[in-house]
Amino acid sequence: MRSRQQSLLSSAREAKGWTQRALADNAGVSQPTISKAEAGLVPLNPEACKSVAHVLEVAPALIAASATCSVSVNPIHHRRRASTMSATVMRRIEGTTLLTQYSVDQLTSGIDLVAEAKLPTIPIGTCAPEQAAQQLRDEWRIPDGPVSHVTALLEAAGVIVIVRDLHAAGQDALSSRGSAVGPSSPLVVMSSGIPADRLRFTLAHELGHLVMHSMPTDDQEQQANAFASEFLMPASVIAEELVGLASTDFDMLFRLKARWGVSIAALMRRAHDLGEVSDRQYRAFHVNLNRLGWRLVEPNQPDREVPTTMRRLIDLRLESGESLDQLASRAGMLVPQFLKVYRPDLAQPVSRTLRLGGDLP
């Protein structure tokens, strides 16, 4: 998606998966009223604003701000497993991403985010993806061998990582360098349903986009995959560990998975790309993977990496005296949704069960 600017109301409607007519019908206002409000021609009156916010399940402040504030982001890079996706689903995903960028911008506003490392720009035309990955490992002083915590590396470089529902099973993640207008942090939005092993590779894939791609290109997905493979599994180290690998040697694959923190599918693809397994072996491996039911979720998952920047930022705002209601409104969200996305630990219900007889011997 190329850089674009649209109203917060349009983004909230698209994130819901609704047309203007559907929003108008559900909110009890006319479709022309919605159209004019989205175009910035006529703001919604307070009653319509409240009704629209209610059916869209967003904070009234978000709809009210739509009259004077639009959301604009740099190109969004998509990592999809589904080759086809309806236009409605794509708009819903992009609307969700635009709203996420807005909420992150609002929550980080006034906070000095000090990055420990620099997120460089290495345009794809200047070198191959593998060379870009090697250069970044060198710049970030990553020791030879596996990357211990991909999420922490991205966050240390100022990238905001958010995990939330992306409304499509085939959508793993999206990334953007941030808002096209004004200061903004680079953003990666990860699907909440992605397995832990694929999460690490997907984060490295999105890192490749952030580093290499200023605009989407036809080959960007293959380039980001090549970047991620070299970043997580540098050929100079892993090649000798893949020698003699067989498509049925799951014991070896799972040992390598525990060491490198990636899926056995990614390991086999790396072995194939490096010439350590043949085309026939690679095809046989995927036949076995499907037969075992491991194509989407494999056994022996690594520990799930959890982003911490937004949790720490919200703690900082809470400690400074802001309430959850104020933070949710600032983010343009209702409190339950805000907690689900940004602080699920605070959304856990308090136990109301009292176990009796606990002192009996």
**CA nearest to 166, candidates 110, 220, 231, 99:** 99
Q: pTM for the complete prediction?
A: 0.90
Domains of the chain: 1-68 (1.10.260.40)
CB burial class (10 A; 0-12, 13-18, 19+) of residue 232? Answer: buried
CA distance 311 to 85: 32
Q: What is the pLDDT of residue 67?
A: 78
Query: Given the structure tokens 């609307």, which residue do they identify?
Result: 95
Regions of the chain with pLDDT less than 50 = 1-3, 180-182
Angle in degrees, CA 306, 225, 288, rounded to 5: 90
Q: What is the pLDDT of residue 217?
A: 81
Q: What is the pLDDT of residue 345?
A: 84
Q: What is the pLDDT of residue 164?
A: 93
